[in-house]
Structure formats: structure tokens, C-alpha cells
Amino acid sequence: MAPESGAGGGVPDSSAESWGVGGVVGDGRYRLTHRLGRGGMAEVFAAEDVRLGRTVAVKLLRADLAEDPVSKARFTREAQSVAGLNHHAIVAVYDSGEDLVAGRPVPYIVMELVEGRTIRDLLLSAEAPGPEQALIIVSGVLEALAYSHQHGIVHRDIKPANVIITHGGAVKVMDFGIARALHGAQSTMTQTGMVMGTPQYLSPEQA
């Protein structure tokens, strides 16, 4: 995902050299402290919100995808989808915007920083959840999905890597990057016949 961000004069211009740990995003408001993860579409950093004095997560679209209208629209849609959702089992979105990388605007999303492990990591470890914990996890995910559906948003990519268990045992659903609105303009963004999601976790009728 995105390279690094530095602040310069009036409008910060982020460069591949400065947009990373120690760099800043959002007119200097968010200072990146360390990388949390990197995916095919984006990078996620822990960051300090210098205005409010809190720790957040900043998700940055990869700079090479920023000029692709479809990638940019899907990334922006994640912020729009989750911004209207306020549920304890959904990772909250606080802010979004664009910063400059080599003169090109690259979008970012500022989210709740959740400390814990994904279900994927748990399944690959010696601490795989037992029946009781699995029931708690499934219940939490279903709560999040029921709430998002009630508010017109379908996640479309539920999988172990998109569910976090906090150190306190709470369940959090994240990554609404390919979410779809049930009604309105977003509901028509996906081309007819296009299958969205991770192949291994698609329902049988989609696979």
C-alpha cells in the first residue's frame, strides 16, 4: 500500500522515502509509529493522533493503485461504509482523506486501533479456539453482520483474517473494503456477474 508521508510547507507532500514509520499523514495530524501489516491493496500503520493524543490505525492505499479509479473508489467506499456504523463488534472509522505522494493524491483511512490477533493467526497457532470460544466468536461476528445489514451494508468478505480477537476477548470485524450498500449508488458499483470476496470463503453458489 502506500509509501511514506512527510509534511512540507502548506500542503504536505508525501514521498516514498518519508511515508512510513516517523512520517505524517493528514496535514501532520497522524504520525506513523510502526507498521502493523501490508496487504495487496494497502498498508496499515499504528499512528499517534497528535491533535487528540490517542493511538489510532492508519490504512493507506498503495501509491501504485491510487491512479486506478476502481481501486481508489473501493478504498474510499470502505471509509464511507463503516463511518455510519457504530457497533462494539465493528472496527470504528474515525477519519479519512487524501495525502500527496510524489504529487499524486493517495487516500487514507484512520481507524480504531485494535490490539489482538486475527482468527487466521489463532488457527495457525497452538491456541486454536475450542468449542466455547468458537461459539463466542461466531456470535460476535453474527452480531456485527446483523447490525451492518440493518444499516444497509453487506460485508462480502468475511474470513478468519478479517476478524480480530482483542486481548480482552472481544470480537471485532474489520476490512469493509469490498462491502456493498443494499440500496443507492454503491449498490451498483460492482459489475454484473462479477464475484467479490476471497475464493476459499465464498458461498457455494458464488464459487
* Phi–psi pair at 168, nearest 5 degrees: -90, 0
| CA pair distance 176, 157, nearest whole angstrom | 8
What number is the average pLDDT over the span 143-167? 90
What number is the average pLDDT over the span 37-42? 82
Tens digits of per-residue pLDDT, 57-98? 999 998 888 888 888 888 888 788 888 899 999 999 999 999
pLDDT above 90 as % of the chain: 43
| CA pair distance 59, 1, nearest whole angstrom | 8
For residues 180 and 186, the answer to whether their CB atoms sit within 8 Å is: yes
What's the pLDDT band for 13 if we cut at 50, 70, 90? very low
For the chain, residues classed under CATH 3.30.200.20 are: 13-112
Tens digits of per-residue pLDDT, 99-112? 887 677 889 999 99
- Measured from the Cβ of residue 92, the count of other Cβ atoms closer than 10 Å reads 18
Topology of 13-112 in CATH? Answer: Phosphorylase Kinase; domain 1 (3.30.200)
What's the pLDDT band for 203 if we cut at 50, 70, 90? low
For residues 107 and 98, the answer to whether their CB atoms sit within 8 Å is: yes
Topology of 116-201 in CATH? Answer: Transferase(Phosphotransferase); domain 1 (1.10.510)
Tens digits of per-residue pLDDT, 142-153? 999 999 999 988
For the chain, residues classed under CATH 1.10.510.10 are: 116-201
Give, in order, the Cα–Cα distances in Å from 45 to each of 42, 152, 159, 164: 10, 29, 21, 16
Could you tell me the pTM of the whole model?
0.76
Positions marked catalytic: 157
